[in-house]
Structure 1
């Protein structure tokens, strides 16, 4: 338990601007829960997110007010576990971040996942660029493409980066449609990013996908210069 508490304290100290759902674990026992389970589950949430986020974005924190509002909406819809009192994601809205290359869409998205983990929301997130999804699903010996698809499609929370970035083929269009449609039909919260302008989205991802994205997401257009060219992370 000491190691788990140390992990939690270090994570919270690095992001003091984020208020955790369980501020004092001793209070969990007073509420009829199990503080040991609360510490264990909170540490597991942090570890899962740490393992998911690439090194470049390990310090990412969402700063856009619209993204922060989305995080708050997910946190508000979460339901505490009966014993640990740790809140777990049960649904919520999806988010579409649009804007040109380098304006910070991926940073904001990983920052949102980081915020949820510091708050202590159990959501077992998955994250990948759409090109990585294609690469992992591409049929070849020893690969169960449908199992790979399911690992993303059925995730409680998914971050799907760079929609429309890959060269369009009949197969990539089918995979993208199936993935977005599954999330749409099952009302699973998803963060999407795309370099496409809002009016170009249908051309980049297909009209069927664009239609579902427009209905299922809160859209945030991020503007600005390419931060990478200026040396920003």
Structure 2
């Protein structure tokens, strides 16, 4: 057991009234809150894209969804050694390009990391998802699909951004339908306006997203263009 690098984690820790000393308290118990938090923080440090490495879920509706997920998880896993993400509503972040949807999504993963809950999250963009699932020699596409479909917590960035085809529509439907039927929490981001959702992802997917997700519309101007100006 070794301490974890907590550079950039003060805001997330403060949100849960936690301190660096608590997180890096090496008690020797591999299943206690600090040990689980160190595992989650270390994974976030190693896996979250560099540009989002210090992302913060500072949108009130987004952090409120995360708080409900935390509460539900603890209620569902009472008595377990380590609380693990279970069944919960999903989150759909909508808004124009560059307003911070992906920042909020990765900020949510970082917000959850210090809580002592094992999230076992998987994150992908829709483009990377399709690339991973495209049939090709030496790859079991169904096994790859199950990795995303069965993830306890899944982040899918830019849903509906790719040019629609019969194949992408099938992937979208199978993934969303599995997570809808099993109430597996998923964070979706999309540049699609609410009224255009059905046109971009299809009626079957849109209907399930509307029912399974808490929807948050993020407004503003393109931050990337502002930064480049």
TM-score normalised to structure 1 length: 0.87
| 1:126–1:155 Cα contact (<8 Å) kept | yes
Unaligned runs of 5+ in 1: none
Task: Work out which of the residue numbers 20, 31, 34 in structure 2 matches 1:37.
Answer: 31
Task: Work out which of the residue numbers 12, 15, 19 in structure 2 matches 1:18.
Answer: 15
1:130 aligns with 2:120: no
Larger mean CA deviation between 125-134 and 42-51 belongs to 42-51
Match of 1:193 in 2: 189
Give, in angstroms, the shift of residue 150 of structure 1.
0.5
Task: Work out which of the residue numbers 205, 210, 214 in structure 1 matches 2:206.
Answer: 210
- CA-to-aligned-CA distance 1:78-118 (integer Å, 9 cap, x gap): 2357575x432222210000000000000000000100002
Pairing of 1:111-130 with structure 2 (within 5 A) = 111-130=107-126
Aligned residues: 223
| 2:9–2:54 Cα contact (<8 Å) kept | no
Give, in angstroms, the shift of residue 11 of structure 1.
6.4
Match of 2:177 in 1: 181
1:69 aligns with 2:61: no
Task: Work out which of the residue numbers 165, 168, 171 in structure 2 matches 1:169.
Answer: 165
| 2:38–2:114 Cα contact (<8 Å) kept | no
TM-score normalised to structure 2 length: 0.88
| 1:46–1:120 Cα contact (<8 Å) kept | no
For the aligned residues, what is the CA RMSD? 2.5
Q: Cα gap change, 1:35/1:83 in structure 2, threshold over 3 Å: closer, same or farther?
A: farther
1:98 aligns with 2:94: yes
Larger mean CA deviation between 107-116 and 90-99 belongs to 90-99
Task: Work out which of the residue numbers 137, 143, 146 in structure 2 matches 1:147.
Answer: 143
| 1:52–1:127 Cα contact (<8 Å) kept | no
